[in-house]
Amino acid sequence: MRVVAVLHTAGFAGFFAGGCVRDELLGRRPEDYDVATDATPERIVKLFDRTAEVGAHFGVVLVRDGQETTEVATFRTDGTYSDKRRPDSVRFSTAEEDAARRDFTVNALFLDPTGRTAGAAAPSGGTIIDYVGGTQDLAAKIIRAVGDADKRLAEDDLRSLRAARLAAKLGFEIEPGTAAAIRRHSAGLSGVSRERIGDEVRRMMGHESRATAARWMWELGLVAAALGCAAPAGECSTRHLAGLPAESGSTVAMAAWSLDLGFGHEGEGARKTAQGWRRALCLSNEEKDELQATLSELANLEKDWAGQSVAVQKRHAARGGFEAAMMLLEIRSPALAQDVRSKLGWLASFGGGIAPKPLVTGDHLIEMGMKPGPAFKRVLDGVYDAQLEGRVTNLREGLELARGFGVS
């Protein structure tokens, strides 16, 4: 509101723009607020004390006010998109022309919070400026491309993924003409970097509407292009995604989606799946490792857990990916998951719990006169296993057992 007030005082238009308007009209809390104006970037920089010209060529300036940062963009018309991401040129223009270059009608609305501009009254105050029928599509719960759908999608194929994510998040349908255009443009997501695809998939998988987003991805023919693989044949299953708790993170959701799509998780399957998703979505090392660990621990729980020793079970339970694997196991086999949960309670009741601090360390072995080397790990592992199983309960017992290994 302060940014808009400064623009108005200087004689310029100042509207809330895009997703924040959509969310305001739907009664949702916007994640952030963007402002659109007829002031040029040069004028915006002069009007505010703290700014950053992150995209001045495209008319975008960040305005900082205390701890808050607001993106302020000049109304513009875009030229051609030869790289299928950014326009080759822009021309500063009017609010109506700016709305016409946006992706979907529900994202092309403006709101004047002061009510100075003519328009329909907004429920939260101010007036709505709608040049593209976005308010009607909001009321009808429809995602529709602005203007010619093929042209909008040809400018940036990532808009296909955004349509799937937005429809899922809002619980909307995708207008048939827009859906058909997405299918025509979905074959390769040409011109879209793997980093951008990964970011969009993370946002889908990190939201409670993830199962619906996956179904839209399937129905729109986007799975193969997004994941860099042939889409599995057969019906679209979202069993694992739909079974996850709403607050689940994006990585466990990726593991769930990989199971729904029929990717492997047993043996080498976990590693191959994680490597494939890393390449397709530009996952970080941490994300890739977490995905692989989740799938590997799930395979262990389903095939080997029951026959493993107490120490091995505790070691698995303490590993990264175990709790995520348990979430998936509870979806796949509730009875088995209940058995594992009961066993975990018993395992935690002795030996210092699931993952106690080791009683004997390498420093202790050195003090005993043992020489560091490969055998150290064997001794430490052996003593720690005994601790986990309750056979060693204090340092003295641990050191005695270590001496029994006869390492020198």
- With beta carbons less than 8 A apart as the criterion, state whether 68 and 60 touch: no
Alpha-carbon span 18 to 162, nearest angstrom:
14
Q: Do both 30 and 163 map to the same domain?
A: no
259, 253, 184: which is closest to 225 by C-alpha? 184
Q: Do both 217 and 324 map to the same domain?
A: no
Q: Do both 147 and 136 map to the same domain?
A: no
CATH number at residue 2: 3.30.460.10
Angle, alpha carbons 232-235-237 (nearest 5°): 90
34, 6, 16: which is closest to 129 by C-alpha? 16
- With beta carbons less than 8 A apart as the criterion, state whether 256 and 240 touch: yes
Q: Do both 171 and 102 map to the same domain?
A: no
State the residue range of the domain holding 176. 142-234
Relative orientation angle of helices 285-303 and 322-332, to the nearest 10 degrees: 50
Q: Do both 124 and 166 map to the same domain?
A: no
Q: Do both 130 and 151 map to the same domain?
A: no
109, 126, 213: which is closest to 161 by C-alpha? 213
- With beta carbons less than 8 A apart as the criterion, state whether 251 and 292 touch: no
The encoded tokens of residue 43 equal: 């004028």
Q: Do both 28 and 118 map to the same domain?
A: yes
Q: Do both 190 and 153 map to the same domain?
A: yes
CATH number at residue 193: 1.10.3090.10
Q: What is the mean pLDDT of each run of 10 residues along the chain (408 residues)?
A: 94 95 93 93 93 81 91 86 64 92 95 89 91 96 96 90 97 97 82 92 97 95 86 80 96 96 91 95 96 97 96 96 97 97 96 95 90 88 95 94 76
128 beta partners = 111, 120
Q: 81 in a domain, yes or no?
A: yes
Q: 166 in a domain, yes or no?
A: yes
Which string of DSSP letters, residue by residue, matches 256-291?
HHHHHTT---STTHHHHHHHHHHHHHT--HHHHHHH
- Residue that terminates a domain, selected from 316, 335, 354: 354
Q: What is the DSSP letter of 13?
A: -
Q: 248 in a domain, yes or no?
A: no
How many helices (H) and strands (E) are present in the chain, helices listed first?
21, 12
Q: Residue 384: what pLDDT? A: 95
- With beta carbons less than 8 A apart as the criterion, state whether 279 and 197 touch: no
What total of structural domains would you count in the chain? 4
The encoded tokens of residue 345 equal: 């309670």
Q: Do both 28 and 136 map to the same domain?
A: yes
The encoded tokens of residue 88 equal: 């080759």
* Residue 160, H or E segment: helix 158-170
The encoded tokens of residue 273 equal: 């799946």
- With beta carbons less than 8 A apart as the criterion, state whether 75 and 92 touch: yes
Q: Residue 235: what pLDDT? A: 77
Q: Do both 18 and 127 map to the same domain?
A: yes
Q: What is the DSSP letter of 145?
A: B
The encoded tokens of residue 207 equal: 């939201």
- What are the angstrom distances between the C-alpha of 307 and each of 264, 300, 310, 335? 22, 10, 9, 17
Residue with tokens 């994202």: 107
The encoded tokens of residue 390 equal: 């309750």
The encoded tokens of residue 58 equal: 């495209």
Q: Do both 24 and 74 map to the same domain?
A: yes
Angle, alpha carbons 319-322-326 (nearest 5°): 165
Taking the CB of residue 323, how many other CB atoms lie within 10 A of it?
Answer: 12
